[in-house]
């Protein structure tokens, strides 16, 4: 027959996947984070491993079951995620950056639980910018490496995602409408628009995150 075995399309490839949402501490008992569950990143890691890739999953604050064939590295903050991605990227064939990174972190972390101040009805927290991980990787990536980013948008999805492809030097962006409550964060379903640097786009149907992950992995297998 003409059937081609699609099951090992990433055999021998080393892929880094990030997942989850970073936590940025305020004091020993409080932090700032976002709604990412890590489900999309875990599904991508699984699909890549099923396709024969050697997968390192750098997971921020997820509580999802691990699976065979994927080595998981746990991190908490954006800066820890940055360190783990940066030290591994040169050895990898590609990076899929599905983690939701906090753009800012509290400038200082109190070493004790911050107390309310009597008679103060407001408190001010100064935040400083976190490193843009995928942007710095985009600057150093070689021609034989790929970088896939995500764009979480509540509005102007296409325009915002297109800017990110260019500014971060991505090979593909997975644009996610996080304003839609039925899909995206924490859901088991997702619908994404894939956007290539040449402007080509493909919108997936609403389907399970595993299915979206499999479609993404097939596309990545065709890179180079």
CA 159 – CA 121 distance, rounded (Å): 39
**Nearer to ligand CTP (CB atom), residue 62 or residue 130:** 130
CA 150 – CA 168 distance, rounded (Å): 11
Binding mask 164-203 for ligand CTP (x = CB under 6 A): x---------------------------------------
Which residues have CB under 8 Å from 3's CB, separation 6+? none
Binding of residue 134 to ligand CTP (CB under 6 A)? yes
Residue 5 counted as an annotated binding residue: no
Binding of residue 80 to ligand CTP (CB under 6 A)? no
- Selecting among 2, 34, 155, 160, the annotated active-site residue is 34
Decide if 34 is catalytic.
Answer: yes
Three-class SS state of 129: strand
Binding of residue 94 to ligand CTP (CB under 6 A)? no
Position among 9, 45, 47, 78 found at the interface with ligand CTP (CB under 6 A): 78
Three-class SS state of 27: strand
Position among 7, 35, 66, 103 found at the interface with Ca ion (CB under 5 A): 103
Binding of residue 188 to Ca ion (CB under 5 A)? no
CA 125 – CA 106 distance, rounded (Å): 7
> Helices 78-89 and 133-140 sit at what angle, rounded to 10 degrees?
20
Binding of residue 130 to ligand CTP (CB under 6 A)? yes
Q: Which of ligand CTP, Ca ion, none binds 192 (CB below 5-8 Å, type-dependent)?
A: none
CA 161 – CA 157 distance, rounded (Å): 6
**Nearer to ligand CTP (CB atom), residue 24 or residue 93:** 24
CA 105 – CA 47 distance, rounded (Å): 32
**Nearer to ligand CTP (CB atom), residue 133 or residue 216:** 133
Which residues have CB under 8 Å from 138's CB, separation 6+? 147, 168, 169, 170
Using CB under 6 A, list all residues that contact ligand CTP.
Answer: 78, 97, 99, 101, 103, 130, 132-134, 149-152, 164
Using CB under 5 A, list all residues that contact Ca ion.
Answer: 103
């Amino acid at each position: 027959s003409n059937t081609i075995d699609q099951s090992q399309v990433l055999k021998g490839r080393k892929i880094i996947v990030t997942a989850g949402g970073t936590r940025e501490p305020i004091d020993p008992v409080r932090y700032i984070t976002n709604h990412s569950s890590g489900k999309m990143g875990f599904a991508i890691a699984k699909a890549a491993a099923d396709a024969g890739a050697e997968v390192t999953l750098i997971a921020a604050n997820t509580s999802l079951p691990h699976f065979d064939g994927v080595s998981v590295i746990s991190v908490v903050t954006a800066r820890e995620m940055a360190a783990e991605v940066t030290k591994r990227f040169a050895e990898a064939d590609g990076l899929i950056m599905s983690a939701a990174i906090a753009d800012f972190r509290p400038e200082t972390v109190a070493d004790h639980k911050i107390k309310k101040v009597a008679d103060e009805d407001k408190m001010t927290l100064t935040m400083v910018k976190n490193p843009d991980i995928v942007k710095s990787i985009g600057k150093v990536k070689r021609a034989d490496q790929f970088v896939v980013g995500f764009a979480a948008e509540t509005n102007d999805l296409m325009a915002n995602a297109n800017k990110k492809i260019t500014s971060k030097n991505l090979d593909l962006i997975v644009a996610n409408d996080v304003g839609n409550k039925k899909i995206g964060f924490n859901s088991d379903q997702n619908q994404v628009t894939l956007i290539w640097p040449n402007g080509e786009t493909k919108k997936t149907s609403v389907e399970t995150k595993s299915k979206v992950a499999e479609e993404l992995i097939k596309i990545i297998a065709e890179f180079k």
